[in-house]
Amino acid sequence: MAKNRCPACGAAHKGPTATCRLCGYVMDGSVETPTSVGGARVAAPTKRGVGSLVIVGVVIVAALAIGALALHVVNGGDAVNKVVAKIGVKGTTNGWKTVTDTTGGFTVSLPPDAAATSVPVALADNGQLTGWLATIGVAPSVGTEIYVIYGKIHALPGETPQATVSRMADAKLATDGGYVISRNTTTYQGYPAVQYTINRITFQGQNGFENATLFVRNSDLYVVQTLSIYQGSPATEAYNSVLNSLHFTS
C-alpha cells in the first residue's frame, strides 16, 4: 500500500495510478519525487502573527485619535479636553481677539473683554502706564487679570537700557509686594527685559500670584503681566500666549 502513496500529499491509493486522486500529482514516474513533502505547503498564520497584526492596528488607531485631538478635529466634551490638555494642546486662547494698539505700535491677542485701562506707576513720566486689561473668568469669579500696558520713561544719566528696565522692575516689585519666586535679567524680542514671578500678593481677596515681563523699547516701558489666583494653569498659559502674540507694527 505504501508504494501507492502520493509522495506530494501522502494520500493512499488502492493500486498504481497515473495521478494522485487528491492533489493531482503525476505518479507515473515522469516527474521527480519532491524531497520534502512539507516544503510544498504554505504555513498558516500563527496566533502570534495574528496578535502582532492586532497590536499594529491598535497603535495605528491610537495615533490617528491623538492626531485628531491635536488638530481639534474631535470635540468630545470634558474627557477629550482633558486628553488635549495632556498632550499639550491648550484651549486657553479659544475665542480670544486681536487688539490693535496704534499708539503703542503693536497687536496682541487677548480675551474678548479686553478694554482700555491705566495703571499708576510712579516712575512713568506721567505717573501711569496705559494699555489693555482683560480677564479670564466672569465676575465675581475672575480668576486671572491680564495687563498689556506701556508709557514713556526717562533713563538716568549714563544708564544703559538694561539698567533702566532693571531699575523699573525693582521699583515695581517693591510696590507689588509679595515673595519673589524668580527674577531674571533677559531680553524680549531683542529688547532688554526683566521677567519675574511672585506670590503672596493679595488678589480677589486671597493669596495670589503674579507673572510679569518688563522691557524697554526706545523710550517706552512695556509691561505684560498676569495677576491670578492660580500658580499654574490657566494663568501661565495665558501669560505665555500674550507674550507670544505681541507683535510690533511700528
Determine the CATH number of domain 97-248: 3.40.1000.10
| pLDDT per residue as tens, the chain (250 positions) | 456 777 777 777 778 887 776 777 777 776 555 444 333 333 344 444 545 554 545 445 455 444 443 433 333 333 433 333 332 334 457 799 999 999 999 999 999 999 999 999 988 999 999 999 999 987 778 899 999 999 999 999 999 999 999 999 999 999 998 999 999 999 999 999 999 999 999 998 889 999 999 999 999 999 999 999 998 888 999 999 999 999 999 9
Global confidence as pTM: 0.63
Please give the distance of CA 175 from its chain centroid, rounded to a whole number.
Answer: 34
What is the reported pLDDT for 32? 55
Residue 82 per-residue DSSP state = H
Q: Kindly give, in sequence order, each residue whose CB lies less than 8 Å from that of residue 231, ignoring residues fewer than 6 positions away.
A: 199, 209
What is the reported pLDDT for 144? 94
Distance CA 43, CA 53 (A): 17
Please state the φ and ψ torsions of residue 117, each to the nearest 5 degrees: -150, 170
Distance CA 7, CA 242 (A): 81
Distance CA 226, CA 148 (A): 9
C-alpha grid cell for residue 70? 491635536
